[in-house]
Amino acid sequence: MRAMIRAAALWATAVLLLAGTASDAGAAANTSRQAPVGHRQPTAQDVQGAQQDNSADETMKKIDEDLDRKLKGICRGC
């Protein structure tokens, strides 16, 4: 008899917990949450320095093209 009462109490608790998480999930989906301080999504203004450093990228691209041209002369069709 005690086992049946405990099982019923556990079942009722599980049902209440599941009903609470289902209603919380619906409420959370309707509201947008803000990221904690320090976890902000970067904006275009934050990465302007990376956009201005194209000269280094162009230099590396030219070096890579020169190396590819030299390697094609060494390794023909393999």
**pLDDT digits 0-9 by tens, 12-56:** 888 888 876 555 555 555 567 777 777 877 777 777 765 556 778
15-24, 58-67, 69-78: which is most confident: 58-67
Residues sharing a CB contact under 8 Å with residue 35, sequence separation 6 or more, in sequence order: 41
Question: Is residue 41 a contact partner of residue 35, using CB atoms and an 8 Å limit?
Answer: yes
Phi, psi of 31 (to 5 degrees): -110, 145
Domain ranges of the chain: 1-28
* pTM of the model as a whole: 0.30
